[in-house]
Chain A
Amino acid sequence: MSTTVATKAPPLERGQSPARRAVRRFLRHKLAVAGLVVVLSFILIAALAPWIAPYDPIATSWSNIRKPPSALHWFGTDENGRDVLSRLIWGARASLMAGVISVLGAVLIGVPIGLLAGLAGGWVDATISRIADAMLSVPFLILAIALAAFLGPALENAMIAIAITASPVFVRLARGMALDAKSTDWVEASRALGNPPWRIAFVHVLPNIIPPLLVQSTLAIAEAIIAEASLSFLGLGQQPPAPSWGSMLNSAQRFLDGAPWLAIAPGAAIFIVVLAFNLVGDGLRDALDPRADRR
């Protein structure tokens, strides 16, 4: 009787993992796929900068100061005669690195702390949550500026500052998701099976909260790119003469009337990348919707 219950599948057929189903749903989302293509091309451009940039990004040329876009210099030249396109390509490195690495840092700081708070509960949770709340009560950019100023002006320090500033969001998210997961039957089941607490956290809870973390991360990358551009704009990020989109905007503001292309190029780059990351984030949110995955 009981052996006749399951007769659907051919022998040892591999099931469809939740991750594969999510990928399929993501691919149906046209805007998100477009966003992903844009993001990947920018990453490719940043990685291949030394080979595809037409000019040296920091080589000055006194005969080519603030020239409008032309066949030789597609996006024109800046106040020191440097090729804007080349600086844009090299600047993509700083911006994307700042975005991805600082968010990675924020995840690595925030998620374990959030898991600890959610799963341990009690005074541990209260202490961690209050600290995170306190950090979140200060506007993102103000805190990042304060930290970056404290650490000293450099791209690495700007990234550290952004990582620390962005981490409370991940603490809160991981804590909330861990609290949710803690009350599920399968986490109780894992306790009943004899799993030690660290295994419950990393084997049972963490994989199940990755979807919202991934969505939050892509959105945070967009935010971090803006933050890096802002810090560089204020002189706290990438230091001259090395290019970054923020510092390019900074120097462009003095010539908005005479040479608007100096501002338009990095501004458009920031706009497009941030939009692309947001589209990817939205697509991921739909694709990873736990309600779509439940059954």
Chain B
Amino acid sequence: MTAPMLELRDVVRAFPVRDALGRSKGAVRAVDGVSLSVPRGSVLAIVGESGCGKSTLGRLALRLIEPDSGQILFEGEDLRSLSPAALRARRRDMQLIFQDPFASLDPRMTVEQAVAEPLRLHGIVPRAKERDRVAELLSRVGLRPELARRWPHEFSGGQRQRIAIARALASGPRLIVGDEPVSALDVSVQAQVINLLQDLIRELGLTFVLISHDLGVVRHIADRVAVMYLGRIVEEGPTAEVFSNPKHPYTRALLAAVPGQGHTKGAAALLEGDAPSPIDPPSGCRFRTRCPHAEAICAAQIPPLADHGHRAACHRQAELPPAAARHERDAGGERLKRLQAFFSDQRTGE
């Protein structure tokens, strides 16, 4: 079997926290031992509350931030072993789409200059064909090529995000990380950009890592979901499976917080308060301070990501009542139903 497009092995990154005098006050373990695998051509969503480390994880995956430890394998090759020059050359294969399209475009570059930059950096098309290629890319993301000579400030948020997508596509990447690519946009524009991304993923066979807190979007386009809490992955599995049969109390709470998702408050109480400080996270299971099911073991031991149908890091996942029982069906699609049927058969067979 070929190597997955992207594989993270036990990746750790902590940011030192200093007081006003520059003395170290400890560290925020933004990403604390994350292992993930993203198969070629799939869409993985990373979800979680703000501050859980999902954006840091996305940047670690592209080695835009250096990890403290762990491995980042891109098509089987450890990105950490690459020299700076080799890494820059490799960047044509992996790109990032930012959350805020008002900040991600250089205000002093025209659309044409911005989209042509990766073409030039990686010598993708001869100079003579550059203009044609830019026009092609712009029309591919739904912008009229006539706008190429304009400056970013002349566009709306949705248009700017399309420019950023065109720029990310220019070098012909195989992996794209989207860091909340639509959450800064107007709701009316979000759906258009999501559809565009979905079309591009399908047509270009892209592997996509979607960082999002919008579970509706995630459910719509992701093949797999990883749920993060305070720097760790607490649950990971096929999207339909995680949504219909969440194992981890945190995932259940997240799903319960989504309107129209069908989980009742009885199944998983809504989260209260804020996540604990990542400088001084709780011992054992990091979610235990907000978990309605916490017991002594949860404070004593870090729960492993155990495989029960899909991976979840909870000591008590086997004992908790299944959430799926109370799950009311909404627009989930055929595949979801098949999967649900498959997993419920398996459970009764045991």
Residues of A within 8 A of B (CB): 1-3, 5-7, 9-18, 184-186, 188-196, 199, 204, 207-208, 293-295
Is B154 interfacial (CB-CB < 8 Å)?
A: yes
A193 and B167 form a contact (CB under 8 A): yes
Does B143 lie within 8 Å of A5, measured CB to CB?
Answer: yes
From the candidates B89, B103, B142, name the one contacting A184 in the complex (CB within 8 A): B103
Q: Residues of B with Cβ closer than 8 Å to A?
A: 62, 64, 85, 88-92, 95-96, 98-100, 102-108, 110, 117-118, 121-122, 139, 141-144, 146-151, 153-154, 158-159, 162, 164, 167, 171, 192, 195-196
**Complex Cα distance A219/B150, Å?**
32
| B107 in contact with A294 (CB, 8 Å) | yes
Contacts of A193 in B (CB 8 A): 91, 95, 117-118, 121, 167, 171
Q: Once the chains bind, are A15 and B151 in contact (CB under 8 Å)?
A: yes
Q: Are A293 and B192 interface neighbours, CB within 8 A?
A: no
Across the interface, do A5 and B159 meet the contact criterion of CB distance under 8 Å? yes
B121 touches A5 (CB 8 A): no
In whole angstroms, what is the CA distance A194 to B86 when docked?
10
CB of B121 within 8 A of CB of A185, answer no
Complex CA gap A7/B192 in Å reads 16
* B103 near A12: Cβ-Cβ < 8 Å: no
Interface of A is mostly: loop
Q: How far is the CB of A207 from chain B (nearest CB, A)?
A: 5
Asked if B100 and A195 sit within 8 Å, CB to CB, the answer is no
- Shortest beta-carbon distance from B84 to chain A in Å: 8
Q: Write out the residue numbers on chain B whose beta carbons fall within 8 Å of the beta carbon of A16.
A: 151, 154
In the complex, the answer to whether B103 meets A18 with C-beta atoms within 8 Å is no
7 pairs across A/B with beta carbons < 8 Å? A5-B142, A17-B151, A192-B62, A194-B121, A195-B121, A204-B106, A208-B107
Contact in complex: B144, A6 (CB < 8 Å): yes
A259 to B324: give the CA distance in the assembly, Å.
101
Complex: A16 Cα to B147 Cα, angstroms: 12
Cβ contact within 8 Å between A294 and B153: yes
Contact B158 A5 (CB under 8 A): yes
Q: Are B153 and A6 in contact (CB under 8 A)?
A: no
Excluding A5-B143, A192-B95, 8 further A-B contacts by CB distance (< 8 Å) are A2-B142, A9-B150, A13-B149, A15-B147, A185-B104, A189-B167, A190-B106, A295-B153
Q: Is the CB of A2 within 8 A of B192?
A: yes
